[in-house]
Structure 1
Amino acid sequence: MTTYSIDTLEKYKSVTTATLTTVLLKKGLRNVWIREAFPLSPDQERVAGPAFTLRFVPSREDLATPASWTSPNSTRGAVEAMPEGCVAIVAADGCSDAGVFGDILCQRMKYRKVAAMITDGVVRDLEGVVQSELSVWSKGTAAPPSVAGLTFVNWQEPVGCGGVAIFPDDLIVADRDGAVVVPAALVDEVLEMALEQERLEAWILDEVQNGASLPGLYPPNEENLRRYRESRTKT
């Protein structure tokens, strides 16, 4: 599994998902925001880490049984394979009436120092999941277990989650606006662009707070870009 440097991850944690979607749009990537995955707790901090993917498909009764939980190829096995710092991406086909994970699995993930879990489905055992202090992005909660509506297939393979194609080791960044995927091959280039975009927008915001009007400022024309660059040389 790809390991990103601590420096890279910390820098990505300083960049909003809104900025990342803008930068990725400039690179020609429009479909990067995972739909219907929102922070389960309002105080969750921004996270960044490599994707560890899990895939569910719609339930098939001969496979989706409580007995399947004891199989080596199960969500339990997947949790034990998760490396420290990864972001678990749980592709649940948008299922909203069966919880992909509950309190016990989330507590185990937290113990293994998984950075976060993101799913286009729902979780169960809400109170216990929150108490586990695992950062979770989901579309909500439901009481029934996963096998009531889903069949677990495998982990660490390409998945579609929230309408977005995600490959193992893609970089995931999530905050209050949701979760965004940065293709692994573009991580360094996107980071450089994103940090510059954040600096530019901070300067623009300061100008607006001081009364500047938007035309020619946002986006900046050549004159305002010159002023911005001059301000950078003074810092």
Structure 2
Amino acid sequence: MKILSKLLLILFIISTQIFSQGETELKKGVNLIPTKIYTEEEDARILKLFEGLRVADVSDGMDMVGLPGRGLVDPSIHPAWIDPVDLTHQFRGIAITARYVPTQKPDRPEHGEEFSKWEGNFYNAYSSEAFTQLIKPGTVVVIDDVEEKDIGSIGSYNILEWHRRGAVGVVTDASARDLDEIAIEKVPLYFRKPGRGIRPGRNELESVNRPVVIGGVLVCPGDIIVADKDGVCVVPRYVAEDVAKYAREILNKDKEGRRNLYESLKMKLDKTVK
């Protein structure tokens, strides 16, 4: 009932916003899903609840709060690399979002214009990474990009810079390049396919920290993102605490059962059962 009440309140707020807008304001464009801001303390507290949880546990937790299958990103969004020993490809974090769209700007310099000058201006004026100033420890960078195009919006330099700022992982519904180097850098990346082209002349930044869709799943800023070899799961913030509680119970029971099997088989205990 608590979750249903929250949903009804959200729907009421949205409907009120819609009917309060005049025609002129609607023509300018209106954002109808609000972006909620959370404090660092709130983010840290919720992330603590998700420490060590797997996608499978979280998916089961989503079932238990009445959202079966709702947060499961399409499996075409997969890890760029896997660490089967230390599992460093896994992460749990707080979403910040960016949306890139196909550009309608010219895809090449004007006659006589230097390519490097045109390229630099395109990055700065149209296809920037303005979202980087929002990155802090525990952040997941979630990028809704142009999946149909061959665009390497994410590469070995910028993903490492995001990691330096505190990002624990990156998720995109499109492409990335420099995949060999990213695997060596060990920055967790979940993506659709390899990309080669640069952003200038191909896409431009449409919005920052607004709702986006990744692999058929709505991601709002502040949602919890959990990723491992099973894929990516998005937990809406309003149910995150309950999902984490149920997921923890599931994980603890699983560890206990598998630990007993390990011991009966005289297998060495690993980090997944301790």
Tell me the TM-score normalized by structure 2.
Answer: 0.67
1:57-96 to structure 2, matched below 5 A, reads: 57-62=101-106, 66=119, 67-71=121-125, 74-95=127-148
Query: Which residue of structure 1 aligns with residue 77 of structure 2?
Result: 37
Q: Deviations over 1:169-220 (max 9, x none)?
A: 0111111111111111111111111111222334555687899xxxxxxxxx
Give the gaps of 5 or more residues in structure 1. 212-235
Query: Which residue of structure 1 aligns with residue 15 of structure 2?
Result: none
**Please, which moves more after superposition, 24-33 or 195-204?**
195-204
Confirm or deny that 1:119 pairs with 2:157: no
Query: Distance in 2 between the 1:126 and 1:209 partners?
Result: 36
Query: Which residue of structure 1 aligns with residue 56 of structure 2?
Result: 18
Checking the alignment, whether the CA contact within 8 Å between 2:97 and 2:131 is kept in structure 1 is no
Q: Deviations over 1:88-120 (max 9, x none)?
A: 001124345212211221121122121111111
RMSD: 2.7
Checking the alignment, whether the CA contact within 8 Å between 2:64 and 2:243 is kept in structure 1 is no
Checking the alignment, whether the CA contact within 8 Å between 1:54 and 1:156 is kept in structure 2 is yes
Tell me the TM-score normalized by structure 1.
Answer: 0.77
Query: Distance in 1 between the 2:146 and 2:63 partners?
Result: 25
* Runs ≥4 residues deviating over 6 A: 206-211
Query: Which residue of structure 2 aligns with residue 56 of structure 1?
Result: 100
CA shift, 1:132, in A, is: 3.6
Query: Distance in 2 between the 1:155 and 1:142 partners?
Result: 22
Count matched residues: 210
Q: 1:51 to 1:101 in 2, by over 3 A?
A: same
Corresponding letter in the other structure for 2:142: I
Query: Distance in 1 between the 2:122 and 2:221 partners?
Result: 24
Query: Which residue of structure 2 aligns with residue 166 of structure 1?
Result: 219
